[in-house]
Amino acid sequence: MISRRNLVGAGAGLLLAGCDKVVQVPAARRILFAGEDIQRGLQRALSDRGALAPEFTRAQMSPVFRANGTANPGTPAYQALVDGRFADYRLQVGGLVDRPLSLGLAQLGAMPARRQITRHDCVEGWSAIGEWQGPLLGTILKAATVRQSARYVVFRCADLIAGHAYYESIDLIDAFHPQTILALAMNGAPLSVAHGAPVRLRVERQLGYKQAKYIMGIDAVASLAGIGKGKGGYWEDNVDYDWYAGI
Ligand SMILES: Nc1nc2c(c(=O)[nH]1)N[C@H]1C(S)=C(S)[C@@H](COP(=O)(O)O)O[C@H]1N2
Ligand SMILES: [Mo]
C-alpha cells in the first residue's frame, strides 16, 4: 500500500517543481510511484487519478458561464463580508494539521498562483469553459502541515440549501493534484458572488458539485463520519450523488 507519507511527499514534490505543469507531472509520478510494493492495479488507478484534466485556450472559453446552485449565500454574516469587500474574510485551515492557519485574501493572493482554463461539467447537463486562478490547495495544506492521520479535506461553505450547510470533501490525492486550486479569480477578475466569492475550489478531475463555492474553512479529517449526514457533501447527503465524481 502507498502510505500517507508518500502522498504528502508527492504534494511536496509538486510544490518544489513550481507552477510549470510540464515539470510537475513527471516529478509527481516519480515520487508517487517510488514505493516498490505497489500492486500494478493500484498503480494504474493512482496513475489515472494523477492525470491532468484537459486545458483549453482563451479562444475556447465559453461566452457565458452560468452560475448554479447558490448564487448568493444571503446570510447576515456573508453579507457583512461583501459589504466590507471581504477585508474581514479569513480562511480557517484546521483539523488534523500541526499549524492551523487563518488567511486573509491578501495573504492568499500573495501566494504563487496557478491559472488554468478548464471545462466545468454539471450533472444537470451543462458544461462551460472558464479560466480560474489561485494558489494550489497543496501549498496551503503544506503550510498547515497535514498530519499522517488525515485522509480527507473538508470544505465548509457560507451557504445553506434548504437549511443544510453546503460542504464538500475530497481525498488527499485530489487535494494535492497539480490542478487543484483555491480560485480567487475567474476569467481574469476577482470571483463574483454568483461564482463563489471570495474563494472557491477547483478540483478539475471531478464534476461541478464538488467545486465548492464560498469556502470559509478547510479541515483535514480522518473520517467523514459525523460531518453533515456523513456522506462527504451536501449533495451526497441529501440527493445521493456519488462522493467520488470523477470525470
Ligand atoms: N457553496 C456551494 N458550492 C457549490 C454549489 C452550491 O450551491 N453552493 N453548487 C455546486 C454546483 S451543482 C455546481 S454545477 C457549481 C456551479 O458553479 P458556478 O455557480 O460557478 O457555475 O458549484 C458547485 N458548488
Ligand atoms: Mo452542478
At 28 the pLDDT is 43
Q: Evaluate: CB of 68 within 6 angstroms of ligand 1.
A: yes
At 25 the pLDDT is 42
Asked if 237 and 228 count as a contact pair (C-beta separation under 8 A), the reply is yes
At 44 the pLDDT is 60
At 8 the pLDDT is 40
Q: Evaluate: CB of 214 within 6 angstroms of ligand 1.
A: yes
At 48 the pLDDT is 86
**Ligand 1, atom nearest to 67 Cα:** 19
At 39 the pLDDT is 59
Nearest CA to ligand 1 atom 23: 209
Asked if 114 and 133 count as a contact pair (C-beta separation under 8 A), the reply is yes
- Cα gap 220→222, rounded to integer Å: 7
Nearest CA to ligand 1 atom 24: 212
Name the one residue in this structure whose C-alpha cell is 488527499: 172
At 16 the pLDDT is 35
Q: Evaluate: CB of 208 within 6 angstroms of ligand 1.
A: yes
Q: Evaluate: CB of 239 within 6 angstroms of ligand 1.
A: no
Query: What is the 139 CA–ligand 2 centroid distance (Å)?
Result: 27
Count of H-run helices and E-run strands, the chain: 8, 11
Q: Evaluate: CB of 95 within 6 angstroms of ligand 1.
A: no
Nearest CA to ligand 1 atom 1: 213
Q: Evaluate: CB of 24 within 6 angstroms of ligand 1.
A: no
DSSP string covering 43-67: HHHHHHHHSPPP---GGGS-S----
63's CB contacts (< 8 A; 6+ apart) are none
Count other C-beta atoms under 10 Å from residue 170's C-beta. 26
Q: pTM here?
A: 0.84
**Full pLDDT tens readout for the chain, 247 residues:** 334 434 443 443 333 333 333 334 444 444 444 454 555 566 666 668 999 999 999 999 999 999 999 999 999 999 999 999 999 999 999 999 999 999 999 999 999 999 999 999 999 999 999 999 999 999 999 999 999 999 999 999 999 999 999 999 999 999 999 999 999 999 999 999 999 999 999 999 999 999 999 999 999 999 999 999 999 999 999 999 999 999 9
